Structure 1
Amino acid sequence: MTRRFHNALPTLAIMLGASVWGVVWYPMRMLASMGLTGTVASAATSGAACLCVLLLRRRAISTISWHWLLVALGLAAGMTSVGFVWGAIHGQVMRVLLLFYLTPAWTAVFAHFILKDRLTRADAALSMLSLAGALTMLWSPALGMPLPANLAEWAGLMGGMGFAMSNVLVVRITRTMPRMKPEMRTAVIFGGAAVVATLVSFFEPMPTPPAASQMGTVAFIVIGLGVVLAVNNVIVQIGLARVPANRASIIMLFELVVTALSSWLFAGEVPGPREWAGGACIVAACVLSAWVHRQTREAVEASPAPSPEAASEKKPTRAMV
């Protein structure tokens, strides 16, 4: 039993991380109700998380080698954070998150241009499946074109594109700078999210600021969220290091379950038939994407090794992450 529990710890770590992201929208709405806008809340919590990582893991990131890819990763992470937080605060959480999870479509496109990965028929089919799920969810006879109905849904869609771009850039960074510590990437992600959210906050009208009596509660939630997100990221990184990527991407879909339950319990939001149908297509695309990439990797590993002469002449085109 002890051995089984030890083997299950990486999976539990990823599920815990997915659970945190499935409920993080609620304290963000609490901050918004107290007068802290979504962009300011995102900037504050991301800044607190970045500071926490820098303090706790300063030895791992003592040597910093800057690269334009790190700037791109910070911008993509900021786009992800602002899109997710702002959309979850101002829109229906489940619809925003499903639009956020259109990653198979965007990842296939971004990987083709940034990683030079060949766009296969399977990637194209899975992209179409996830987009079909989004169209099913967004279609309404009264609204006409199946497009996001409000700014919150557009924000969720934008955040999902940023999330896919972040994943692709992380792979590119590991290939370009293989000696970079994961803690450095984590600090760049949270730091970029803080900077982008701060810049965007200047363009968002500020409501009545939090009352003096609420400042202690606001500070407690912001600092607490920052610490939780930083620790959560470390826990997820531990799980991802011990679980195959294809399996981890499926486990991360547990976030959708937690979000559906939390939005029902805390906000009274119940997805309708179109949301369930569209969500099923998006989840199926994510699961099949993980399965296809697993089959591809197993086929590559099972292929016969080339001769030393051929190996010395052939340049590596892919790197194990």
Structure 2
Amino acid sequence: MNNWLRASWPTLAIMLGASVWGMIWYPLRMLAALGVTGTAAGALTSGAGCLFVLLVRYRSIATVRWHWLLPALALAAGVTNLGFVWGSIHGQVMRVLLLFYLTPAWTALFAHFILRERLTWAAAGLAALSLAGAMTMLWSPQLGVPLPGNLAEWAGLVGGMGFAMSNVLILKTSRVLPDMKGEMRTATIFGGAALFSACASFFEAMPAPPTGAHLGTAALLVLGLGFLLASNNMLVQYGVARIPANRASIIMLFEIVITALSAWLFAGETPGPREWAGGACIVLASALSSWVHRTKAKPIGEAPPGAALGDDREARGQDGPRAMV
């Protein structure tokens, strides 16, 4: 029994992490209702998360050396974070998340140019499957060309591109800077998200800021979210380091289930047939993408579980560290 429980901890850690990411949109909307805009919420919560990582794991971060990949990774993480946060606050959560999850399409493209990976027929097919899912979800006779219908959906789409770029750059970083600790990548991601959102906040109309009791509630939410997201990130990294990568990515798709349930319960959002059909294509492409990358990236028996926290995992574009989602 004890051995079974010990073997189950990594799976439970990933499921818990996916559940947190699937529900994080709700406290973000609470912040928006208190007068904290999406850009400000992204900056404040990511800044709190970065501070938490720096305080808790500062010894792992102190020895890092400078490289141009660090600001590039920070910028990609900033786009990822802002796209998801702003989109989930202002749009239909499930549609924004599904557009965000077009990762296989963008990962295949970015890996081809940045990592010099050959674009295989399998990768091209998975990219086409995910894009077909998006077209199914977005198409309607009234709207014509299947494009995102509002700024929130565009934000989710661009955020997903940033997520794919982040994963590719994380793999590039692990190759160029093999001695870099995972905590440094996490701090870079959170710090980049905070700086990018802070700069973007100057271009968003600011409502009346929270005052009095609302100010205290907003401050507690920001600090709580920062602590939660940083802890959740490290929890998920614990899980994905200890189970096969293809299995971990399937478990991570639990996030979409939690998002659908929470959007239905708290926002009254019920996906229609086109959303379900398109979402099924996107989820299937994400799941198959992890399996394809896993089987091609590493021969059986090359390394024990957890020997390299990140290389093939980030390459497949599914469960690398994330600043917000």
Structure-2-length-normalised TM-score: 0.91
Instruction: Tell me the CA shift for residue 293 of structure 1.
Output: 2.2
How far apart in 1 are the matches of 2:74 and 2:312?
23
- CA distance 1:33–1:320, change in 2 (3 Å): closer
How far apart in 1 are the matches of 2:312 and 2:17?
23
**Structure 2 match to 1:309:** none
Instruction: Tell me the CA shift for residue 294 of structure 1.
Output: 3.0
How far apart in 2 are the matches of 1:166 and 1:276?
27
Cα distance per residue 1:73-123 (max 9 Å; x no partner): 000000000000000000000000000000000000011111111110000
How far apart in 1 are the matches of 2:272 and 2:233?
32
2:30 equivalent to 1:33: no
Instruction: Tell me the CA shift for residue 49 of structure 1.
Output: 0.2
**Structure 2 match to 1:135:** 135
**Structure 2 match to 1:313:** none
| Residue range with higher mean Cα deviation, 211-220 or 268-277 | 211-220
Instruction: Tell me the CA shift for residue 212 of structure 1.
Output: 2.2
Q: Is the 8 A contact 2:294 2:312 kept in 1?
A: no
Cα distance per residue 1:170-221 (max 9 Å; x no partner): 1000000000000000000000000000000000000121122211100000
**Structure 2 match to 1:102:** 102
Structure 1's unaligned 5+ residue stretches are 304-318
> Which of structures 1 and 2 has the bigger CA Rg?
1
Instruction: Tell me the CA shift for residue 301 of structure 1.
Output: 4.1
Secondary structure of the corresponding residue to residue 242 of structure 1: coil
Q: Is the 8 A contact 2:293 2:312 kept in 1?
A: no
Q: Which amino acid aligns with 2:10?
A: P
Structure-1-length-normalised TM-score: 0.93
- CA distance 1:214–1:302, change in 2 (3 Å): closer
Instruction: Tell me the CA shift for residue 245 of structure 1.
Output: 2.2
**Structure 1 match to 2:162:** 162
How far apart in 2 are the matches of 1:165 and 1:174?
14
**Structure 2 match to 1:58:** 58
**Structure 2 match to 1:118:** 118
How far apart in 2 are the matches of 1:161 and 1:244?
25
| Residue range with higher mean Cα deviation, 120-129 or 57-66 | 57-66
How far apart in 1 are the matches of 2:33 and 2:222?
14
Instruction: Tell me the CA shift for residue 290 of structure 1.
Output: 1.7
Q: Is the 8 A contact 2:297 2:312 kept in 1?
A: no
How far apart in 1 are the matches of 2:184 and 2:34?
33
Instruction: Tell me the CA shift for residue 52 of structure 1.
Output: 0.3
Instruction: Tell me the CA shift for residue 291 of structure 1.
Output: 2.0
Taking the TM superposition and a 5 Å limit, the aligned residue runs for 1:266-281 are: 266-281=266-281
- CA distance 1:302–1:240, change in 2 (3 Å): closer
Taking the TM superposition and a 5 Å limit, the aligned residue runs for 1:1-321 are: 1-297=1-297, 300-301=299-300
Instruction: Tell me the CA shift for residue 25 of structure 1.
Output: 0.4
| Residue range with higher mean Cα deviation, 284-293 or 135-144 | 284-293
Q: Which amino acid aligns with 2:125?
A: A
Q: Which amino acid aligns with 2:284?
A: A
- CA distance 1:58–1:96, change in 2 (3 Å): same
Instruction: Tell me the CA shift for residue 287 of structure 1.
Output: 1.3
Q: Which amino acid aligns with 2:61?
A: I
Q: Which amino acid aligns with 1:280?
A: A
Instruction: Tell me the CA shift for residue 320 of structure 1.
Output: 6.3
RMSD after superposition:
1.3
**Residue correspondences, number:** 305
How far apart in 1 are the matches of 2:292 and 2:170?
21
How far apart in 2 are the matches of 1:287 and 1:212?
47
Q: Which amino acid aligns with 2:281?
A: C
Q: Which amino acid aligns with 2:254?
A: F
- CA distance 1:267–1:241, change in 2 (3 Å): same
Instruction: Tell me the CA shift for residue 64 of structure 1.
Output: 2.3
Q: Is the 8 A contact 2:87 2:151 kept in 1?
A: yes
Cα distance per residue 1:211-237 (max 9 Å; x no partner): 222111000000000000010011011
Instruction: Tell me the CA shift for residue 238 of structure 1.
Output: 0.7
Cα distance per residue 1:135-185 (max 9 Å; x no partner): 000001111110000000000000000000111111000000000000000
